[in-house]
Structure 1
Amino acid sequence: MTPHPFSSGSAPDPTYAEHFRRHQQATTGALLVPLLFCFSAVQAQPAELEAVEVIGVTPTHGVGVAPSRLPYPVQQADGAALRDTGALGVGDQLDRQFGSISRNDAQNNPLQPDIQFRGFTASPLLGLPQGLSVYQNSVRINEAFGDTVNWDLIPDTAIRSINLISGANPLFGLNTLGGAISVETKTGFSHPGHAVEISGGSFGRVRSSVESGANNGRFGYFATLEHFDEDGWRDASPSEAIRAFASLGFRPSAESAFDLNLQYADTDLIGNGAVPIELLAQDRDAIFTAPDNTRNTLAFVDLQGSHQWSAALRVSGNVFYRDNDSEAFNGDGSEFEECEEAGGPEGFLCEEDDDKPIEDQNGQRIAEAGPGGERNAINNRSLREQRSFGGSLQMDWIADIGGLGHHLIAGAAYHAGLVDFHSNVEVAGLTPERSTRGTGLFVPEEGTAVTSSTRTWSLYVSDTIALSARMDLTLSGRFNQVEVELKDRGGTDAAGLTQPTPRLNGKHQFSRFNPAAGLRYRFAEDLSSYLGYSESTRAPTAIELACAEPDAPCNLPNSFLADPPLEQVVARNIETGLEGVWTLEDQQGRVQWGLGAFATHNDDDILFQSTGGVQSNEGFFDNVGDTRRMGLEARLDGQHPITRWYLRYSYVRAQFVDPFTVNSPNNPRADDDGQLAVADGDRIPGIPQHTLKLGADWTIARVFDLGVGIRYASGVHLRGDEANVLPETDGFATINLRAAYRPTRQLEVFARIENLLDAEYETFGLLGEADEIPGFEDFEDNRFLGPGQPLAAFVGLRWTL
């Protein structure tokens, strides 16, 4: 059998690099493909598995099977693509150029996007059902408390590549319901050199970075420091981010490699969210209530290594520690009302529909007004101290067994997440600008002090078998065991004092073996097809388990009041597709193409059901039954000596399968109990059915680059309208232009224009109660929309050495 060329010090085989590019955006299609597989399996003769170049798209960094043999599509972009497009991080780049990706601007902060892939979400917001796993190198970076993803913490200039792996691939562990995103970072061996970049423009935005990398063949380093600052295009919406990354590499021999990665981030973000549709019509820059501030502070250490024991056997692994403190401050309309409206004593504040006055931290009843004026608002404060640590060990082995070539991957992983969560609710008043002023009066019963621990043990295996020279069979599976433990220390006041009334204590266990199987068949060198089936799971997170009782709703992300059990979500995915390459007659250009279909069925999907709140942020988590995402995908990539272009189209139908009753008290079509009947086939809110992305780049005289990118997305249903009884948002299209001039090899001058036609559009919507806020008593429309960024222009310089 041909030995596997694993040498860590060798450059990638260009043949397999080309295979990777060919299949980086492959999608699924053709209903006849399953029959072709069956016919080919009967006719195929056993053959050895030829040597492949390893591509890092599996859980342990740097180990995997060439995508030309995988039974699912993989999309990719490198760090240069982020720089060329001017994307603000991984999430923004996914939205600009990747197929089946859409974006919800729920926070209206450029560093806090909600990213949807095939109708599954990766978002920084608590309360959303997360369905994508995200890896940085070999570490899963979904946060410990709610599986959220803080895109703002990943430094742009440290990114080597972004891989998007489709389907419910069990190898990537928990939360891989719709796919997995794998981010690889630079090293001194992959990116030697030095660069400084600065840019600025609209919204007072200034971006700057410095990076440096080098190696002497044995030792290497890479380091980067970057700063982002802007005033924001919405009123009172400034943000700042500082991010640093360093990699220290050691290559003691051609067979061994070790990398120590160090990362720090400090971000201070204002995201003032959706606004009433009637206010949006008056002023698209306006905010509703303010502020909505999130501060993240990250320290992250990851040590990874590998050793080539023989030509056929490689062992790799990692250990990591990640510490992220998230502070949130949200000023909002009050959840309390005048007691006399519920038949209570006049002049005091009560819970809604309750005649008993609320009490402050001193046990005194809180009056509805004070020296500062009316107490018609609240300040929600929270602190999440999230610490995670763990490691993995993986074997990669090529062998000839029973006359067939096998590429076997087997591994074990452990991941622990420990969280201390504190929150309090302060009674406040609204200013004329709809920001809040504090009173120093806190409601201990509305506060929370809870610790949680999540521990996950996993065993996984994958075997790619060469059934013939044309056909590969991949069998894989992963066993996960998850323990989630909650300990309640009672409510908190401003001083952090607790009430000894634990309500959330509980311990939960979830386990399952998730299988996958698939075939890849190559009809010719430039035409192949694949068919795959896979399963994956998502265990309920600590926040979902702590907020799952309809009779005791919580106010995200602050109060948790009950702890009934929830079922884990099980995703079953099937996809099939064709992909190939057309070579132009002059042999100087080529077009890569893909066409496909997929369907993913979720059992016991979890949904946050609103019970009220000014922006529907009070409620509980519930297993609402089964959901399904299915669709079609197509892609084209053209390449010519001076031109590169791409096209991505996707149709995604995300819908509920089991009828259920949803709580939506802010929906004008709800019944007297604030409920709506959701039917089989109703679409899941926030997910556009159609997305189209196309773009092109031209190089002129080797010193000028011109580029254009166009993005279209159809309308979406609003959150809170799961029954689809209200109109969708409008579809929209945006056009971005970019240009670069290189007067010398070291210097580049660039410019970008975003939303060239200044289109007014919205990517997101929800239902709320605008008339609960002073000054908006005459507003009758319950719809809130998240507006998209207007016309913007930026210029910058980049110097490299």
Structure 2
Amino acid sequence: MARSRCRTRPLRVVPCLGALALPVSWPVAAQQDTNEAAADQVHNLREVTVVAPTPLPGFTIERQAFAGNAQTATDGDLERVKAPNLSAFLAETMTGVVVNDAQGNPFAQDILYRGYRLSPTLGSAQGLSLYLDGVRQNAALGDVIHWAAIPEAALSTITLVPGSNPLYGLNTLGGALALQTKSGETHPGVEADLSVGSYGRARLDVSAGQRLGDGWHAYVAGTGWREDGWRDRSDSDLGNLFFKLGRSTSGTQWHVSVLGSNSRLTGNGLTPDSLYAADRRAIYTAPDETRSRSLQVALNGAHQFNAQDQLQLTLYLRQTRTHANSGDISNDYLDTALGCQGHAGSAECEADDAPANAVLNSATVRETSYGASMQWSHDGDTHRFALGAALDMNRSRYTQTTQQASFDDARNTVADAGAPVLTQAALDGRDSTIGLFATDTMRLLDGTFLTLAARWNQGRRHTLLSLPTQSDESFTYSRLNPSLGLTHRLLERLVVFGSASQGTRMPTAIELGCADPANACQLPTGLQADPFLRQVVTRTLEFGGRWQPADATEVTLALYRSDNRDDIVFQRSPVSPLGYFSNFPKTRNQGVEFGLRQRLGRLTLRAGYSYTQASYQAQGTLQTPFAAPVMVQPGTRLAGIPLHSFKLGADWRATAALSVGGDLLVSSSRPVAGNEDGALSAPNAQTPGLSDTGGYLLLNLRASWQFLPRWQVYGRIDNVFDRRYATYGQAGYNLFPGGALLQPGAAVPVERFVAPGAPRLFLVGVRYEWDGR
């Protein structure tokens, strides 16, 4: 049960007289008669909604002045939905957000918003940024996200900022996700949540906050999670711990936070259709395990000089170590199988003379990141502006080794006794990024606001590659990204807005180290010399409105178009699973977002629809493992992104203690990677098509009972109808038709490999909550 608290939130502020830390008088004061009596002003106080236009906490503007379709959620929403983790919560509640489960693990999913990706997979094109208390969480080497390191038990607010907002820095092509954590000042008391579910899933969240007197406050939160997994050989576990200590005085607030995490995640990836049809739990090859450890220390401070001027400061240090093991088909064996098709019995295609069929790949990444951000903000009657600077420094060390192996009857990779462990790639990368930014929101007329903003970024990438070739190269990227936004209150409860913005993404060390067509690599397990790649530049136009015809009703609508110049794509080699990165002249993401919230007494309804058309906008070719490349034309859709997505949620408070609810999730089909042009066809009528993954409909249900003032029991069922569905597909050669290794000389079938969605899952839990105010 969500507690009613009078506290500041990044997107929503519920005013409590005398308790607000943020000024909310502008521009509300312009709408009030200055001659009203003080008592009348108190009675006329209304809820004021604000938006954080920059990642650093403390600077806000009123929502009616924000030119975009920002979405928000609070810790109360997280508690109500009872989603198994943050990515599932975003997929259920945020319009335009869908999940790609290509890794097959609930804590290793890709989040896609407006067709842009936020992924834990090294080598994935990252088009979204993520901030935790003003600290950028995109990792140094590949801009990836470690979901296991996010302190979900400590989250207070979640804000999804749309578009190519330059103030949120690099990778903000489609949007930014800003997370804020709790503190002992805002969340005193104790919370404990224990749940168990299907396939050995268990989770414990515990947190405690305390006001210590004289402005001091402390907060601690921890999460432990494990599961056997619904697929074969897919057990995983993780834990993280978050601690925050701070002090608030009349003019100064500061806190220090420490965040540590440790995880072991199994991600069994894609499965060919023939194996999936025979056994829903089947995996292709094993093992596929990633172990990660991270530690982050951050300092956030703010000083109020006067009623209008404030200075914010953020410092951080983060260290991460990741080690991944994967068993894969040997490139030499695949090349032999392809070359021997139709030549069974020939001398060069004898099974005894075939090369080793498997290889055990290991990759280790060590990263150290540190940086500082500073922002001065001014809250005036006509102007609300901020000036700031950010510096991020990173060092990344990457090592990849390989060992000859073979597959057993269960497709487990077993290292060959005596086979040497060979180092295939070794990289030492250093990069630094400087950002200078400014924004000003001006009140032109009563209800009309103009926002001008810009950020200049300069990044330097220095890579020392010792294996497989020797190279020492540096690249420098710089760009000034502007934005302009206009909002106007057309009617008393109708606000319309429009904006134009530009964002950039610099190539990562992984992309730069795998950009030579003559020296293809296998990601994330190989690197070469560093050919130049241009940075991605995205320009976004967005128009929309917010309409609140009554206090219980809110309707939002947004139309957007984002053009990506020099987009970076992965070209797969025609003779093996190797490949390389290259720039593609132009791609486009455009669409519509529609949201509705309605309260009907004890019933709350939420609906969201998104139309996302992500397509190539130039003629070109995409290399694939097959003989013929994919031929793309303007309008050819990008793989893995559904055209339509619909969400319908309902919560009914049956009694003061009993609540029931559910969410309906609908997704249209998604194009299959490697067959974007539809040139490949299924080899026979019994084989599913190779063009898309097919759409799906899922129903999730939940219920909770507050049987004592501090105690609650709850339950949740995901995928109630136990639908079979897939969130991603890729065309490829299947060397295990029927589950047995294909021998040289036989035809190598082409199949659709899919990321299977989870079956019906049950979850029950008990929650204790004590408000320590």
The amino acid of 1:406's aligned partner reads H
Partner of 2:233: 236
Partner of 2:454: 477
The amino acid of 1:611's aligned partner reads S
C-alpha contact 2:442 2:450 (8 A) present in aligned 1: yes
1:787 aligns with 2:756: yes
Q: Distance in 2 between matches of 1:611 and 1:14?
A: 46
Partner of 1:716: 670
> How far is the alpha carbon of 1:550 from its aligned partner?
0.9
Q: Distance in 2 between matches of 1:16 and 1:749?
A: 28
Partner of 2:718: 754
Map 1:284-299 → 2, pairs under 5 A: 284-299=280-295
C-alpha contact 2:730 2:754 (8 A) present in aligned 1: yes
Q: Residue 78 and residue 767 in structure 1: after superposition, are their counterparts in 2 closer, same or farther (change >3 A)?
A: same
Q: Distance in 2 between matches of 1:13 and 1:676?
A: 47
Q: Distance in 1 between matches of 2:389 and 2:603?
A: 45
1:52-105 Cα offsets, whole Å, 9 max, x none, are 876445221232222221111110111222233222332221111101111111
Q: Distance in 2 between matches of 1:422 and 1:581?
A: 55
C-alpha contact 1:613 1:768 (8 A) present in aligned 2: no
Moved more, 114-123 or 82-91: 82-91
The amino acid of 2:570's aligned partner reads F
Q: Residue 342 and residue 419 in structure 1: after superposition, are their counterparts in 2 closer, same or farther (change >3 A)?
A: same
1:93 aligns with 2:89: yes
Stretches of structure 2 lacking an aligned partner (at least 5 in a row): 16-28, 33-44, 341-347, 680-689
Partner of 1:246: 243
> How far is the alpha carbon of 1:171 from its aligned partner?
0.2
1:410-437 Cα offsets, whole Å, 9 max, x none, are 1000011110111111110101110111
The amino acid of 1:239's aligned partner reads S
1:62 aligns with 2:58: yes
Q: Residue 161 and residue 249 in structure 1: after superposition, are their counterparts in 2 closer, same or farther (change >3 A)?
A: same
Q: What secondary structure sits across from 2:415 in the alignment?
A: strand
> How far is the alpha carbon of 1:769 from its aligned partner?
1.6
Q: Distance in 1 between matches of 2:332 and 2:208?
A: 54
> How far is the alpha carbon of 1:538 from its aligned partner?
0.4
Map 1:241-280 → 2, pairs under 5 A: 241-251=238-248, 253-280=249-276
> How far is the alpha carbon of 1:567 from its aligned partner?
0.3
The amino acid of 2:652's aligned partner reads W
Q: What secondary structure sits across from 1:80 in the alignment?
A: helix
Partner of 2:475: 508
Which of 383, 401, 415 is the aligned partner of 2:392? 415
Q: TM-score under structure 2 normalisation?
A: 0.89
Map 1:719-798 → 2, pairs under 5 A: 719-725=673-679, 726-771=690-735, 775-777=740-742, 780-798=749-767
> How far is the alpha carbon of 1:311 from its aligned partner?
0.5
Which of 77, 102, 111 is the aligned partner of 1:106? 102
Q: Distance in 1 between matches of 2:502 and 2:617?
A: 18
1:544 aligns with 2:506: no
Q: What secondary structure sits across from 1:289 in the alignment?
A: coil
C-alpha contact 1:106 1:273 (8 A) present in aligned 2: yes
Partner of 2:301: 305
Partner of 2:541: 574
1:460 aligns with 2:420: no
C-alpha contact 1:88 1:156 (8 A) present in aligned 2: no
The amino acid of 1:788's aligned partner reads G
1:577-602 Cα offsets, whole Å, 9 max, x none, are 0211122xxxxx61100122100000
Which of 608, 615, 623 is the aligned partner of 2:570? 608
1:449 aligns with 2:426: yes
Q: TM-score under structure 1 normalisation?
A: 0.86
> How far is the alpha carbon of 1:216 from its aligned partner?
3.6
Q: Residue 767 and residue 71 in structure 1: after superposition, are their counterparts in 2 closer, same or farther (change >3 A)?
A: same
Which of 472, 478, 488 is the aligned partner of 2:465? 488
Stretches of structure 1 lacking an aligned partner (at least 5 in a row): 1-8, 20-46, 345-354, 356-366, 492-500, 584-588
Partner of 1:26: none
Which of 378, 399, 403 is the aligned partner of 1:397? 378
> How far is the alpha carbon of 1:718 from its aligned partner?
1.2
C-alpha contact 1:446 1:559 (8 A) present in aligned 2: no
C-alpha contact 2:11 2:52 (8 A) present in aligned 1: no
> How far is the alpha carbon of 1:543 from its aligned partner?
0.5
1:556 aligns with 2:523: yes
C-alpha contact 2:616 2:637 (8 A) present in aligned 1: yes
Q: Residue 613 and residue 696 in structure 1: after superposition, are their counterparts in 2 closer, same or farther (change >3 A)?
A: farther
The amino acid of 2:245's aligned partner reads L
C-alpha contact 1:390 1:416 (8 A) present in aligned 2: yes
Q: Distance in 2 between matches of 1:247 and 1:790?
A: 38
Q: What secondary structure sits across from 1:336 in the alignment?
A: helix
C-alpha contact 1:760 1:790 (8 A) present in aligned 2: yes
The amino acid of 1:448's aligned partner reads A
> How far is the alpha carbon of 1:453 from its aligned partner?
1.1
Q: Residue 462 and residue 724 in structure 1: after superposition, are their counterparts in 2 closer, same or farther (change >3 A)?
A: farther
> How far is the alpha carbon of 1:272 from its aligned partner?
0.2
C-alpha contact 1:268 1:293 (8 A) present in aligned 2: yes
1:515-558 Cα offsets, whole Å, 9 max, x none, are 00010101233110000000010011110000001111111111
C-alpha contact 1:549 1:563 (8 A) present in aligned 2: yes
Q: Distance in 2 between matches of 1:222 and 1:18?
A: 23
Q: Residue 14 and residue 159 in structure 1: after superposition, are their counterparts in 2 closer, same or farther (change >3 A)?
A: closer
Q: Residue 384 and residue 368 in structure 1: after superposition, are their counterparts in 2 closer, same or farther (change >3 A)?
A: farther
> How far is the alpha carbon of 1:49 from its aligned partner?
10
Q: Distance in 1 between matches of 2:512 and 2:751?
A: 29
C-alpha contact 1:128 1:607 (8 A) present in aligned 2: no
Q: What secondary structure sits across from 2:467 in the alignment?
A: coil
Q: What secondary structure sits across from 2:92 in the alignment?
A: helix
1:266-293 Cα offsets, whole Å, 9 max, x none, are 0000010110011111111101101111
The amino acid of 1:250's aligned partner reads R
1:378 aligns with 2:347: no
Q: What secondary structure sits across from 2:105 in the alignment?
A: coil
The amino acid of 2:621's aligned partner reads T
> How far is the alpha carbon of 1:398 from its aligned partner?
2.4
C-alpha contact 1:49 1:465 (8 A) present in aligned 2: no
1:718-758 Cα offsets, whole Å, 9 max, x none, are 12223243421110010000000111111100000110000
Which of 498, 504, 508 is the aligned partner of 1:531? 498
Q: What secondary structure sits across from 1:701 in the alignment?
A: coil
Aligned length: 716
Q: Distance in 2 between matches of 1:593 and 1:563?
A: 49
